[in-house]
Amino acid sequence: MDNLNLTTLHKGQTVMTDVVLDRFAAGLRGRLLRRTDAGYDEARSIWNAMIDRRPGLIVLCAGAADVMRSVRFARENNLLLAVRGGGHNIAGNAVCEGGLVIDLSPMKSVRVDPGTRRLRVEPGATLADVDNETQAFGLALPTGINSTTGIAGLTLGGGFGWLTRKFGLTIDNIISMEVVTAEGKLVRVSEKEEPDLFWALRGGGGNFGVVTSFEFRLHDLPGEVLAGLVIHPFADAEMVLRQYRQVLETAPDDLTCWAVMRKAPPLPFLPADWHGREILALAMCHCGDIEAGKVAAAALREIGNPIADVVVPTPFAAWQQAFDPLLTPGARNYWKSQDFAELSDATIAVLLDAVRKLPGPECEIFIGHVGGAAGRIAVEDTAFPQRNSHFVMNVHARWREHSMDSTCIGWARELFEATKKHAIGTAYINFMPEDESDRVEAAYGGNYRRLTEVKRHYDPQNLFRMNQNVQPQAEMRAAG
């Protein structure tokens, strides 16, 4: 009889026999993968190629029952547990070393009720899956900017993108969720059912359970939006960013514009002599009437002397996929982020200095434009704390060779430190790498204490710890 060594919750080892594992597998509708099984390496691979972990077991879940059984199995055997949705998270928490992975990626159902404008989504769906179904009915859910991102992880961390200023964060549009708790029980949460858990799940990440179904409210969105890029020479970046921030002070909620600084990829609409040179791109989307969008975007498009302007009416789902080619799996990635209330001259100067030191052709800095509807919700209404930020910086180091690790990571960390004094202190947990566990409390600000109380009630043993971890309140006191 073969035995399998598995990693426990506190990083020890436990031995499990084939008899026990076969019994567990027999109770699943999905599939249990061990290290020698076909499909194992594919299942353990995630978007960020820096993460190379070998779980002891992977459960490819077919439904909520499989999730319940898997959570109970992990709890009863004291196993280190990770939960995978889309596998896109920068920190790599979708997989653990030697433990059990609950893989939700086979659970991809997306169902739209156009009459009530409601959406039910399983946690394995991607943003592309959601857009494909909702846009068929002229409806939309505000999500992110990369269609291969998983809906579950994006949502639980907050969820912001092109439609946030108009319709709020993804979490602001949740009606209810079905969640498997640390006890292995399936509960429904909403404003009236398990309200503390409902509050915590809206921004608190994967700390409190495994969501097996989301129910969202949808919004009317025409088939086309006015969207695209205006690309400037980096030499004009300071002037462009100063005018950019001024225009955005009075921008309508329908308009969102992000600034991206990097070396130009070989885009077909750019002259060849600009490929590989530093640029600043204004990426904009107006989600209302096309003619109104042209008026709203005019001030942004009139800044400076751009190399190219490709802002045109385009299907929203296509715009959601525009950046996918720059974010394909297989590269090494490391991020650092900050929240800013304003884009000050001093902040701009720091950003421009960092762009002059870009360590590779795929490294970039982007400034996400938020606020609007998302900023009109009280900080304490959801676990998500960044209601006061108007801009979110993501320092995106991306490279291919292992030998470039220290250079690219060092560049990102240096810029993070240089911008710290200009930031407001909170952070978007979906942008936080695995080495920022000491930043979690500050990231949640005044909401952190309540999160620890909810954690203590629903997960006192901290079974769900492969995340930007909120420790149970009792555990925090013991540690102190």
pLDDT for res 185: 98
pLDDT at 2: 73
The domain locations on the chain are 3-103, 110-220, 224-437
Q: Are 77 and 35 in contact (CB under 8 A)?
A: no
Supply the pTM of this predicted model. Answer: 0.96
pLDDT tens across the length of the chain (480 residues): 478 999 999 999 999 999 999 999 999 999 999 999 999 999 999 999 999 999 999 999 999 999 999 999 999 999 999 999 999 999 999 999 999 999 999 999 999 999 999 999 999 999 999 999 999 999 999 999 999 999 999 999 999 999 999 999 999 999 999 999 999 999 999 999 999 999 999 999 999 999 999 999 999 998 899 999 999 999 999 999 999 999 999 999 999 999 999 999 999 999 999 999 999 999 999 999 999 999 999 999 999 999 999 999 999 999 999 999 999 999 999 999 999 999 999 999 999 999 999 999 999 999 999 999 999 999 999 999 988 878 999 999 999 999 999 999 999 999 999 999 999 998 999 999 999 999 999 999 999 999 999 999 999 999 999 999 999 975 444 443
CA distance 480 to 473: 11
Residue 439 pLDDT: 95
- Would you state the pLDDT for residue 476? 46
CATH 3.30.465.10 applies to domain 110-220: yes
Q: Which residue has the tokens 């002259």?
A: 271
Provide long-range contacts, Cβ within 8 A and 24+ apart, for 456-460.
457/196, 458/181, 458/182, 458/197, 458/200, 458/208, 458/209, 459/181, 459/182, 459/207, 459/208, 459/209, 460/182
3-103 CATH, one of 3.30.43.10, 3.20.80.10, 3.90.226.10, 3.40.50.2300:
3.30.43.10
* Inter-CA distances, 193 with 57, 177, 427, Å: 33, 10, 28
In this structure, are residues 176 and 215 in contact, taking their beta carbons and an 8 Å threshold? yes
Q: Give CA–CA dist 222/138, Å, rounded.
A: 6
Tell me which CATH code domain 224-437 carries. Answer: 3.40.462.20
